[in-house]
Structure 1
Amino acid sequence: MIRRAQPWLGTLVDITADGAQQAVSLAFAEVALVHRLMSFHDAASDISRLNRAAPDDVLEVHPHTWQVLQLAAQMAELSQGLFNIACAPRLVDWLCLPPPNDAGIPAYQPSLAVYHCEQGPLVRKLAHGWVDVGGIAKGYAVDLAVEALQRAGAASGCVNAGGDLRGFGDRDWPVAVRDPMAPGRAAAQVLLRDEALATSAAYFSARQHDGRAVSALVDGRSGEPLVDSISVSVRAPRCAVADALTKVVLASGDAQHPALAASQASAFII
């Protein structure tokens, strides 16, 4: 087994595989591509271009960006708005993200459609607003890395991007899930085989801002911060889906939310 780690997507990406070093390098290249395309911070990224665009502008984006935006729209519909990548103005207002321009922070309207995916890879900006795909792109990068390893001939492996992970092959991958009350220790141990697991919690991002508790997690329907001392883990065939659904369960408090069954996923709350 080869194991390597690199800093990408605001976290440490750890890749373990039984293939050659070249396979691992190809997997990291896919993660780096997602980082470049979908960064909220990088002015040259597709996401930054979309955020700067004016209403009714049509942008050509990379097919991966289009896929993530399309999946995000599907998750928003499945969750009846609990998952909403247009929450970026809230995160900027709470100083969790830097403002993408000097035009002032747009008002966050939970029901406002900011973009629409047209025939790929075109995206139309519908309204003044900002999106942040941090709640789904990390999982998508994990999926791309796994596919790269498999194409390169790796029979088994695991890609872990800061707790969003996916294992493949004829073996079990042990995963420790943090205790949200004491993140330095494990509260649960699970085994993965040919599936993904993503976990979301506010224990590292929660803080005080303007006299209230905020975090980097937002209820997409209300725009309120998610700050409860719980964690949500979702198992699903794809890591991008598991990544998005953790926010749905975290916001709803429902480990049986209908979006899970619709996505062939399951969840548990600690």
Structure 2
Amino acid sequence: MRRRAQPWLGTLVEVTIADAVGEAGLAQGFNAAFAAIAEVHRLMSFHDAASDVARINRAAVGTAIELHPHTALVVRTALMLQSATAGLFDICCASKLVEWGYLPTQEVAVPPYAIPSYAIPTYFPGRSALTMDGAQCVQKNAPAWIDLGGIAKGYAVDVAIAALQASGIRSACVNAGGDLRAYGEAAYPVAIRNPRSPTEVGLRMELKDAALATSGCYFSQKNRDGRAYSALVNGLDGAAITGSFSASVRAAECMLADALTKVVLASGDPSHTVLQQFGATAFII
């Protein structure tokens, strides 16, 4: 196996190739995978003023924003998951993350986060803030800010896998800070952190022809003014997800596995009904 790593997406992305190809084939595969990840990083970064995410956040209410096909697919999937989970998964969470210090402040006023009204059971935060308008356009219906940090990393893994396959690599694994996907004949060892002691391994397993994502707040959790916060937001009430546990989801695609870890964390339910809908399984440590 040959392995390369680069810093992207706020983490270290590792590409492992198990195919017995020559140096030229290895170089082509590694270059294609990291180029694909770099493109997702550029398109979906909250920090980059030229990204699709920043363009959505700057757009006036009532505007239709044309997106790159990658971003359009991620936003469409996020909105679909938002609907499927009754708002538990919500990409319109950036205002909370700015307020709590996990995302940088902006030169303009941060729009308030939409707190759900329980008097209207069908309402949830961000429900109508964004709607897809055609294949590659999103309509902004409310002054909300989005952050794709809960789904884009998994999607970057998927596009890196696609790039490796297009380069003729027959077996590989991509790991973006705990969001992994493997394909081919090789089985890849995976070590999942113990969330109560994150420098130690809590579980070891192997991954083959599947994706696996793990999320937890053991590194991002902090206390301020007597309250605990993290970089994970429960879309039902805008509260921070806190606690010394992690959620891991196995699915066919890493984008789904990544997003569904937040659903499992927020609900505390590793058998959440949405998992079966997307052919996924989960466990909590």
Q: What TM-score does the superposition give when structure 1 sets the normalisation length?
A: 0.97
User: Could you tell me which amino acid in structure 2 is paired with residue 39 of structure 1?
Assistant: S
Indicate the residue corresponding to 2:151 in structure 1: 136
Indicate the residue corresponding to 2:236 in structure 1: 221
Indicate the residue corresponding to 1:12 in structure 2: 12
User: What RMSD in Å do the two structures reach over aligned CA positions?
Assistant: 1.1
Residue 132 (structure 1) shift: 0.3
Establish whether residue 255 from structure 1 lines up as the match of residue 261 from structure 2.
Answer: no
Q: Contact 1:92/1:105 (CA < 8 Å) preserved in 2? A: no
Indicate the residue corresponding to 1:2 in structure 2: 2
**1:54-65 → structure 2 map (5 Å cutoff):** 54-65=60-71
Residue 101 (structure 1) shift: 3.6
CA–CA distance in structure 2, aligned partners of residues 107 and 221 of structure 1: 11
Establish whether residue 21 from structure 1 lines up as the match of residue 27 from structure 2.
Answer: yes
Establish whether residue 116 from structure 1 lines up as the match of residue 131 from structure 2.
Answer: yes
Secondary structure in 1 matching 2:168: coil
User: Could you tell me which amino acid in structure 2 is paired with residue 10 of structure 1?
Assistant: G
What percentage of aligned pairs have identical amino acids?
53
Q: What TM-score does the superposition give when structure 2 sets the normalisation length?
A: 0.92
Establish whether residue 196 from structure 1 lines up as the match of residue 216 from structure 2.
Answer: no
Write out per-residue CA displacement over residues 220-239 of structure 1, whole angstroms, 9 at most, x where no aligned residue: 10111011110000000000
Establish whether residue 89 from structure 1 lines up as the match of residue 95 from structure 2.
Answer: yes
Secondary structure in 2 matching 1:119: coil
Indicate the residue corresponding to 2:84 in structure 1: 78
CA–CA distance in structure 1, aligned partners of residues 216 and 226 of structure 2: 21
Write out per-residue CA displacement over residues 32-74 of structure 1, whole angstroms, 9 at most, x where no aligned residue: 0000000001111000000011111011110000000000011
CA–CA distance in structure 1, aligned partners of residues 250 and 107 of structure 2: 37
Indicate the residue corresponding to 1:41 in structure 2: 47
Q: Contact 2:229/2:242 (CA < 8 Å) preserved in 1? A: yes
Number of aligned residue pairs: 270
Q: Contact 1:234/1:265 (CA < 8 Å) preserved in 2? A: yes
Q: Contact 1:41/1:100 (CA < 8 Å) preserved in 2? A: no
Write out per-residue CA displacement over residues 124-176 of structure 1, whole angstroms, 9 at most, x where no aligned residue: 11100100000000000000000100110111000000000101101211101
> Which of 98, 105, 109 pairs up with 1:99?
105
Structure 2: 5+ residue stretches without partners:
117-123
Write out per-residue CA displacement over residues 3-39 of structure 1, whole angstroms, 9 at most, x where no aligned residue: 1100000000000112521111001001000000000
CA–CA distance in structure 2, aligned partners of residues 261 and 24 of structure 1: 34
Write out per-residue CA displacement over residues 198-243 of structure 1, whole angstroms, 9 at most, x where no aligned residue: 0000000000133311000011101110111100000000000000
Residue 87 (structure 1) shift: 1.1
Name segments (4+ residues, structure 1) moved above 4 Å.
none
CA–CA distance in structure 2, aligned partners of residues 169 and 261 of structure 1: 25
Write out per-residue CA displacement over residues 94-118 of structure 1, whole angstroms, 9 at most, x where no aligned residue: 0110134422342333523221111
User: Could you tell me which amino acid in structure 1 is paired with residue 11 of structure 2?
Assistant: T
Secondary structure in 2 matching 1:30: helix
